[in-house]
Amino acid sequence: MTVKEIFESMDYGPAPESAADALAWIVDQGAAFGQFINGTWTEPRQDFQSKNPANGETLADLTQASQDEIDAAVSAARKAQPKWEKLGGHGRAKTLYAIARLLQKHSRLFAVLETLDNGKPIRESRDIDIPLVQRHFYYHAGMAQLMESELPDAQALGVCGQIVPWNFPLLMLAWKVAPALAMGNTVVLKPAEYTSLTALLFADICHQAGVPAGVVNIVTGDGAVGEMITAHPDIDKIAFTGSTDVGRKIRQSTAGSGKALTLELGGKSPYIVFDDADIDSAIEGLVDAIWFNQGQVCCAGSRLLVQEGIADRFYTRLKARMDGLRLGNPLDKCIDVGAVVDPVQLQTITDMVSTNTDGETYHANVDMPVEGCFYPPTLITGLAPSARLMQEEIFGPVLVSTTFRTPAEAVALANNTRYGLAATLWSENINLALDIAPKLVAGVVWVNATNLFDAAAGFGGTRESGFGREGGWEGLAAYTKPKGATKPLKPLAALSGDKGPVDPLDRTPKLYIGGKQTRPDGGYSRAVYGKTGALLGQAPIANRKDVRNAVEAAQAAKGWSGTTGHLRAQILYYIAENLSARAGEFASRLNALTGGRSGAKEVDTAIQRLFTCAAWADKYDGQAHGVPIRGVALAMKEPVGVIGALCPDEAPLLGLVSVMAPAIAMGNRVVLVASDPFPLAATDFYQVLETSDVPAGVVNILTGPHGDLAKPLAGHMDVDALWSFSSTDLAATIERESAGNLKRTWVNNGAARNWSHDDSRAFLQASTEIKNIWIPYGE
């Protein structure tokens, strides 16, 4: 074809990337790989194959890790971890820097190998994935350098088990390995069964960078290998990216083990286009949102919401753009959409679309390759919000759509999902955009852009999209723990007695639900005795219906989350003022309940704690991340929602206040289960709340056995987080039952906490979710 003919037709000619170097590297390894354990390779076995999804050709033979090999990897990581941590931040920074430099030097090799193994277009591997991988290691080299000065009270968790998916094999590895190593942890990582090759090349890079033996271990295989990792008793943390169903199983299987856990799971992200949007720009953004990596992206903008007035025009222009997309050999630099990762995934996508009878389906009029795992870009319009394809993740190049009329309806439709990973909105009205973005239930929101990522801005979701963040300062919390050893917490039992009442006039304590004193649904109460055996009163026994009522009251008080920090601070100060006015009475009650003499000190510390949280209410700010775009990523600290808490037994008043105050300071509503053996301090305290302008439903207080109330609270779908500081070790029950809606949990695992020590920052962190709103600026 001549130059003249090219200009006349404007057709794209082939621009193939050579795979020679990548294939040569595979051949140099014998086209067969064992496990990378303790800095060396095990003997390979031909257990399964890695194939090129674009043509079905076998790339290499891989080895299914055995239990013995997993044990060896964990043992190597355990042995290497203390020395790696003691190397210090600067020593670890130098190693991470070396990894980043080697990733740059071999960037083309990684890009081609990723495309061969995964099927994504070479342009995406070369221009997006690999540069981001390098960025994460550079960024976390800096984090390692700064750890000792900026995180002086943090230390490594230990050995981290990490499981990554097949859609971004090397990028997901970087998201997990870089922060783990930076903070002094060692890792045992399992890449996806379909796409292990770049992880194995990364192992080679670690060897070249001088990473000490045992610090990084790579094991391959199917889901059974992942199960061995999550079940291993000598692993301190599990980090998983993958499907929500598997994430739920991991939450259940690790319940009560004491393992730290972060989950980055599925999504059904909304892509909202308002009628004042730049339609052409919004369509180009949509191409990136849903057909990037063949739609095999957890945060893909797979639910298109278009304002009704422009819907017809938008769909017409979108279909024309779809028809111009190019499918084919992923190594061709002119290809827009590559191959689906595996025939199994292709069949899943095909079945979900072919069995759908709702709406109108449009397949792009494009040339389809005759071989390989390819699926055409697809648009399905006219779906109801409840339609299966509007609710379920397809994980393929399929876009589903509906329309809306008003901004309020757009928000309602966007949030009508069990997921909460990401969202995109397009509008030329910046006031509208900044009004809508905070209302979207998502961990990341992009304004007039999509699929922006950077190591400085944490990525992660809410609801059933998982918990925890990867990247940024907030991502480091997942790989550190407070310094210092913990002491076991002994269970505290209620005191017994046989003497008559101290006060002849019964006070009749009740539950406190929705701003009212309420009798327990079951109609039962139990006697509460003091150290002398005297009867101090009767405490109501709450049941699951009382839990239901308290959660409903908390949900009804969601307006509290929209109040200002200044208002919340005033109310916390008012609570402290009213508690101070009755300090002597509360001190006497505490002394009578516990038989001690430190009641006055506990009351005084509780008042101080209220002042501290009031002070933080309007000062615990987010930040503007320095991301490498012409724009800003605003990290907003939002309330978690409804938080349930089993309050400590050993500090009946101070523990309750220490849990309640930071939670409501950040705009959450709480359902508190009072100290089991000493509940009357809590039933006295709600009298203070009643006189302190606390809105109804913001604070709800139940009394009763923690073991009976933990399960209904943990299983309640409208509870967003559950904390347990009970002297009864309920970690296993809470974490297992929380898997239903994947609520955040914070459990003590039977360890004691010093409640006189002000640890408000930890509680403020647990009381907030980070939402990163990306806002490009300029023309």
106 torsion bin: left (phi>0), alpha (psi -120 to 50), beta (else): alpha
What is the side-by-side order of every strand in the sheet holding 516-518?
Answer: 516-518, 511-513, 699-702, 669-673, 642-646, 721-724, 744-747
pLDDT, tens only, 425-436: 999 999 999 999
123-149 burial, b if ≥16 CB within 10 A, otherwise e? bbbbebbbbbbbbbbbbbbbbbbebee
> pLDDT (tens digit, 9 = 90+) per residue, 255-291?
999 999 999 999 999 999 999 999 999 999 999 999 9
Annotated catalytic residue, options 206, 298, 299, 647:
298
> What percent of the chain lies above the pLDDT cut of 90?
89
The pLDDT-based confidence of 665 (bands split at 50, 70, 90) is very high
Strands 58-62 and 48-51: antiparallel
Predicted pLDDT at 65:
97
> Model confidence at 687, in pLDDT bands (50, 70, 90)?
very high
* Full-model pTM: 0.94
Query: What pLDDT score does 715 carry?
Result: 96
**What pLDDT is recorded for position 498?**
80
The string over 386-421, giving b where at least 16 C-beta atoms fall within 10 Å of a residue's C-beta and e elsewhere, is: ebebbbebbbbbbbbbbbbeebeebbebbbebebbb
- Residue 3's pLDDT band (cuts 50, 70, 90): confident
206-210, 487-491, 681-685: segment of lowest average pLDDT: 487-491
- Give the 3-state secondary structure of residue 154: strand
Q: Confidence band (pLDDT; 50, 70, 90) for 597?
A: confident
Give 738's DSSP letter: G
Whole-angstrom distance, CA of residue 64 vs CA of residue 191: 12
Average of pLDDT values for 225-231?
Answer: 96
Minimal CA–CA distance to 189: which of 363, 35, 358, 359? 35
Q: Assign 12 a pLDDT band (cuts: 50, 70, 90).
A: confident
Q: Give the pLDDT score at 276.
A: 95
- Count Cβ atoms below 10 Å from residue 219 Cβ, excluding itself: 29
E strand or H helix at 402, and its extent? strand 398-404
Q: With bands split at pLDDT 50, 70 and 90, how would you rate the model's confidence at 1?
A: low
User: Alpha-carbon distance 19 to 54, whole Å?
Assistant: 13
- The pLDDT of residue 777 is 83
What pLDDT does 445 receive? 97
Q: Is it the case that residue 505 has pLDDT exceeding 80? A: no
pLDDT grade for 779, boundaries at 50, 70 and 90: low
Rounded average pLDDT over 160-175 = 95
Calpha distance 76→232 (Å, rounded): 14
- Name the pLDDT band for 495 (thresholds 50, 70, 90): confident
* Confidence at residue 713, expressed as pLDDT on a 0 to 100 scale: 97
Element (H, E) at 237: strand 237-241
Q: Is the pLDDT of residue 618 over 80?
A: yes
Stretch 126-144: mean pLDDT, rounded?
96
pLDDT of residue 251: 96
Cα gap 126→139, rounded to integer Å = 19
Query: How many angstroms separate the CA atoms of 101 and 96, rounded?
Result: 9
Mean pLDDT of the chain: 94
pLDDT at 534 over 90: no
In 45-192, DSSP assigns E strands to 48-51, 58-62, 154-156, 159-163, 186-190
Q: How far apart are the first and last CA of the chain?
A: 38
Tokens 């939402």 locate to 771
Closest CA to 176 of 242, 88, 222: 242
Length of the chain: 779
Phi/psi of residue 272, each to 5°?
-100, 125
| 298 catalytic per annotation | yes
Mean pLDDT score, 206-226: 96
Among 404-418, 543-557, 586-600, the minimum mean pLDDT is found in 586-600
Q: State mean pLDDT over 393-413.
A: 96
- Rg of the Cα trace of the chain? 28
Average pLDDT over residues 285-313: 94
pLDDT for the residue 28: 93
pLDDT tens digits for range 47-94: 999 999 999 999 999 999 999 999 999 999 999 999 999 999 999 999
SS3 611: helix
Q: Is 13 a residue whose pLDDT tops 90?
A: no
Instruction: Give catalytic status of residue 360 as yes or no.
Output: no
Which of 85, 193, 264, 470 is the catalytic position? 264
CA 495 to each of CA 329, 490, 526, 606: distance values in angstroms, whole numbers, following the listed order = 75, 15, 12, 24
Q: Could you tell me the CA-to-CA distances from 656 to 661, 701, 748 in Å, in that order?
A: 8, 10, 15
Helix, strand or coil for residue 404?
strand
